[in-house]
Structure 1
Amino acid sequence: MRLNGLGDAIERHDYPTSSTDFAQHYGDEVIELQNGQETVAEILARLGNETYTCPQDVRDALFTGVGHEAIGRRYYSDRDPSPFGEDGPQMLSF
């Protein structure tokens, strides 16, 4: 996930601030994701109305609120063992 220069704006913004206020200022900013992009307004809308007391709160909200386009292969894990009594997927090496 790339903040595309939004990091500086997050630092400069006045705190405390609400998610609504932050979205009014920076809602049109685009966040680049691994499999697409989303605007700040789209991400913050998923989280409801919050109050952010510092820049790290906003960063945490953005990293937490992104959609599934921010991850690689959905539902993939090479660390989960198959349950006892079940045959798991065939091993595949990339």
Structure 2
Amino acid sequence: MRLNGTGELLNGHEYPATSGELIDAYGDVRIELQDGSESLGAVLARMGAETFSSPTEAYEALQSGVGHEAVGRRYYSDRDAPTVGEDGPDPVSF
């Protein structure tokens, strides 16, 4: 997943940094996702108050915090069997 240059923004920031500081600095930056976009501020706000010790830590938090629009088709897997209690499609052999 690419987050539209946010890695460079986060690399240029001084650490340690709180999520609030990053929101103040870059909160309006839009992240283009597979199915829409989201602001960097919205992603970081969803995580609550955090302190990041490095740009890598902040970037990884950003990657894990994006919404479901970042993953394409929700709940889709052509490899997993249905879970217990869930009806799924009949298996097809190619």
| TM-score normalised by length of structure 1 | 0.85
Unpaired runs of 5+ residues, structure 2, are: none
Number of equivalent positions: 92
Going from structure 1 to structure 2, the CA distance change for 1:11 and 1:87 (only over 3 Å counts) comes to closer
Per-residue Cα deviation, 1:38-81 (whole angstroms, up to 9, x for no partner): 00110011100000000111111111111110011111111212
Q: For the residues of structure 1 that align with 2:87 and 2:46, how far apart are their CA atoms? A: 37
Aligned to 2:6: 6
Secondary structure of 1:15's partner?
coil
Secondary structure of 1:61's partner?
helix
Aligned to 2:38: 38
Aligned to 1:19: 19
The CA deviation at 1:90 is 3.4
Q: For the residues of structure 1 that align with 2:60 and 2:81, how far apart are their CA atoms? A: 30
Identity %: 52
> Is structure 2 residue 72 aligned with structure 1 residue 72?
yes
Instruction: Give, as a single letter, the amino acid of the residue that structure 2 aligns with 1:49.
Output: A
Unpaired runs of 5+ residues, structure 1, are: none
The CA deviation at 1:4 is 2.0
| TM-score normalised by length of structure 2 | 0.85
Secondary structure of 1:89's partner?
coil
The CA deviation at 1:3 is 2.3
* Greater Cα shift, 68-77 or 3-12: 3-12
